[in-house]
Each structure stands twice: as structure tokens, then as C-alpha cells.
Amino acid sequence: MRRIDLIEPFRVMQLLERAKQLEAEGQRIIHMEIGEPDFPTPEPVLEAARNHLATGDNFYTPSTGSPQLQQALADWYADEYDVQIAPERILITPGTSGAFSLIYAVLLDAGESVLLPDPGYPCQRNFVRLAGGEALNIPVGPETRYHLSAAHIADNWQQKTRAAVVINPGNPTGTLIEETELAAIASCCAEKGGYLISDEIYHGLTYGEKPPCALQGNHGDNREHTIVVNGFSKRWAMTGWRIGWVILPEDLIGAARRVMQNIFIAAPTISQFSAISALSSQREVEGMRIAYDTRRRYLLAALPKLGFDIVVEPQGAFYIYANVQKLSDDSRAFCWDMLEKVGVAITPGEDFGIHHAAEHVRFSYATSLDCLKEGMRRLEMPCKQVLMKNNTA
Ligand SMILES: Cc1ncc(COP(=O)(O)O)c(C=O)c1O
């Protein structure tokens, strides 16, 4: 098989296309499938962008990023996590997605593998495959809050494995990994001579305990074997600005710089300069976080009444991963049915892997509370009908 044939489509896009078609025909669709903040980018960022445009500086920055943004991020890590990071280790990429293509280009030779959670963020395995690597998708469940554990890593690490990925809080589950487990995973990857890749893009969007950065405190003992990825898309509602970063161990930076010079030249200049203001937009970010939490609480109360089981309460991101077995044994058919019958779009489990995929759906609450209420109102009748039928059967 050719490498390109291994790249899977984002299946929910087909559902989204159908939703758009129904909207064009005049129907109002409730979107709970999209993982993109519904809030506008904070005003201080917009103002910084306008100011930067006025300077006429639309030139490339250095490949690894504007030194001002690198320094601002290093200061932010000191404030936010009490961790000291040399600015040169923070490489600025076109979105977190850019960081992932960079990491795997640097780490992987053909046939080398990466351990990933299933269910998990689907693009990850495709980035690995594009770099010629093998994605080892490890089934995870409620026992480990849907994260890889140190035991998973020890059991599944192979001779050609180079890294294991933790997404904390998770997509599609919104769950946090246990702190002790994160430290154990970091040690385990270091012992194997590989890397922990910690995707922290949903940090800041948490509704209880605050997750540690994988480079912080005791977790930082394995710095030389830890790669941290983060970006401005989610916490700062800046998806379209395409800006993220990766913190690499020193010995990988030379290789990463060469790759960046070639494949990106540099991340977008205007985004880099505007993003500096995001780091001090605390008030705006907190407003969004509170709104997400209100929506999360609403759905956590509403969904079980309709027959959706939430086995592990999500404490972060803007997703709820729900078991749909009381309502259907085929989550894909269920999602299409709900779209066609009541105009509610939800993502089926198959987009995130194969492990118990047909039993799960993902709800995104990156949409207004009013829309969520309308979504629940529309789902009520079809769900209750199934529940009643099953109870009398
Ligand atoms: C877990 C996770 N990582 C990375 C990304 C990529 O984000 P971006 O490229 O916009 O930074 C996403 C986007 O949905 C995500 O959910």
C-alpha cells in the first residue's frame, strides 16, 4: 500500500457536509460536532494585529519563531507553571498541527512507531503515517480515564517505538490524566530511551484541578525525554491564526530548525506578533472558561436523562464522550439518524479510533447554551421513544 493510502479522512466532515446541505435548504441545524471555539478572538489580540499591520512588517521571522514571542512564552511558563524554559527551546509553528508534523519528521525513520490512545485525536495517527512511521493505537478505557498508562507503555513499547502521546485534557473525552501516572509515563519513556509527547492544547480550559505541564515539578525530571506541544487555537480562540509551539529537548533543536527552514520557512508573522497579547488576555480567557463550564454542567445533567451514559466526568476541553448503547448499537447510524430526523449534529466514535467506537459519540459544547438547550429538546423525543421501546421489550 502506498503511504498516502493510509491517510484516513475525517469522517465527520461528511456529516458536516450533509448538515450544510440541510442548512442551505433552510433547516436550522444544531452543531455539537465541531471542536472549534465559538468565541471571537480576544480584543487585545485583534488590536495587536491591527497595530502590527500598520508597521508594514510582513516579512518572515526566523524559522524557529520571533524571538519576542519565544521570550513571551518563556515568561508565561515561569508565571503559569513555575517552570524555567530557555526561549530557544520554544519553537513557533503554524498551529499545533505544524508542531506535530515537525516532531514526527524529526523523530521517525521509516517503520518506527508511536504509541497513541484509542480513542484519541484522529490527526495524530495520520501525522505519524505521513512521516513513514507506524501508529500503534492502544485501546484505552474508563479505568485509565481514557489515557495511556505507564503499564500500557511498558507492555506495548517495541524495539522500534520512539514515543508515546498523552493528550491532557483529552480529545474526545475531556478527561485529565492522573498526575502520578503522567510522571510514571515520563519515566517509562525515558527508560526506554524514547519520548513522552504531551499535547497540552486544552490547558486553561479545565473546570476543577489544573493539570501540570509535563515539564513541571517532578514530571520535569525527564526533560531530555519530554516534548510539550501547545497552541493558541483553543484556550485563546485563535483557530484561524494558525499558531502553536513545541518545546523540544536541546539535542533535537538543530534537526528541528533544519526541518522548519524547509517545510514552513516560518509561522505567520502577523499571528506571531498578535499572539504575544493573547498571553496577557487573562480576563477574556477566564470569561470563555466560565461559559464552557456552565455548558458542560448543563450537558452533564441533561444527557443521562436522554439515555447517554457518561462514565468518566470530563474536567477539561469542550467535549463529552458518551456511551450511546442504551439508544443504539451503531453510533454512526445514530448520528446520521439524529441529523436527518431532528437536525442535531454529533460526532460518532469511529472518528477517534476503533476501540468501542460503535458504542460512543462525542458532544462538543463549543456552541451557545441556547443551542445546547435546543439540541437537547430536539433529541428528547427520539431518545425517549427508544428507551421506552427497550423497557417494554
Ligand atoms: C488534541 C488536539 N491537538 C491538536 C489540535 C490541532 O490544533 P491546531 O492545529 O489548530 O493548533 C487539535 C484540534 O482540534 C486537537 O484537538
Q: Which CATH architecture has domain 3-40+283-392?
A: Alpha-Beta Complex (3.90)
Locate 91 and state its grid cell: 519553537
What topology is assigned to 43-281 in CATH? Aspartate Aminotransferase; domain 2 (3.40.640)
**Is residue 366 within 8 Å of residue 172, measured between CB atoms?**
no
Atom of ligand 1 nearest to the CA of 35: 14
For a ligand 1 pocket test, name from 36, 91, 96 the mutation site with the most ligand atoms within 8 angstroms of its C-beta: 96
pLDDT tens string 91-145: 999 999 999 999 999 999 999 999 999 999 999 999 999 999 999 999 999 999 9
CA-nearest of 351, 308, 296, 329 to 120 is: 351
pLDDT tens string 163-191: 999 999 999 999 999 989 999 999 999 99
Question: What is the 352 CA–ligand 1 centroid distance (Å)?
Answer: 13
For a ligand 1 pocket test, name from 92, 147, 168, 201 the mutation site with the most ligand atoms within 8 angstroms of its C-beta: 201
- Sorting pLDDT into bands at 50, 70 and 90, what band is 13? confident
CA-nearest of 353, 318, 346 to 332 is: 346
Question: What is the 381 CA–ligand 1 centroid distance (Å)?
Answer: 34
Q: Give the C-alpha separation, 351 to 349, whole Å.
A: 5
pLDDT tens string 18-69: 999 999 999 999 999 989 999 999 999 999 999 999 999 999 999 999 999 9
Comparing 72 with 388, the larger pLDDT belongs to 72
Q: In this predicted structure, what is the pLDDT of residue 393? A: 66
Give ligand 1 pocket residues (Cβ under 6 A): 35, 95-97, 121, 167, 171, 199, 201, 231, 233, 239, 244
Q: What are phi and psi of 28, to 5 degrees?
A: -95, 120
CA-nearest of 90, 385, 361, 41 to 246 is: 90
Output the average pLDDT for the chain: 95
What's the chain's Rg over C-alpha atoms?
A: 21
Strand boundaries in 210-318, DSSP class E:
226-231, 244-247
Atom of ligand 1 nearest to the CA of 170: 1
Q: In this predicted structure, what is the pLDDT of residue 9? A: 81
CA-nearest of 107, 161, 116, 121 to 140 is: 116
The shares of helix, strand and coil residues in the chain, as percent rounded to the nearest 5, are 50, 15, 35
Question: What is the 188 CA–ligand 1 centroid distance (Å)?
Answer: 25
Sign of CA dihedral 158, 162, 167, 171: negative
Percent of the chain with pLDDT over 90: 91
pLDDT tens string 209-264: 899 999 987 656 678 999 999 999 999 999 999 999 999 999 999 999 999 999 99
Contacts of 203 (CB under 8 A, 6+ apart): 168, 169, 211, 213, 230, 235
Cα angle value 173/357/235 (rounded, 5°):
25
Q: Could you identify the residue written with the cell 514530571? A: 219
Domain ranges in the chain? 3-40+283-392, 43-281
Q: Give the C-alpha separation, 108 to 104, whole Å.
A: 5
- Sorting pLDDT into bands at 50, 70 and 90, what band is 12? confident
Q: In this predicted structure, what is the pLDDT of residue 209? A: 87
Residue 203, CA atoms < 13 Å, CB-side half-sphere: 19
Question: What is the 96 CA–ligand 1 centroid distance (Å)?
Answer: 6
Which amino acid residue places its CA nearest to atom 4 of ligand 1?
A: 96
For a ligand 1 pocket test, name from 12, 34, 97, 118 the mutation site with the most ligand atoms within 8 angstroms of its C-beta: 97
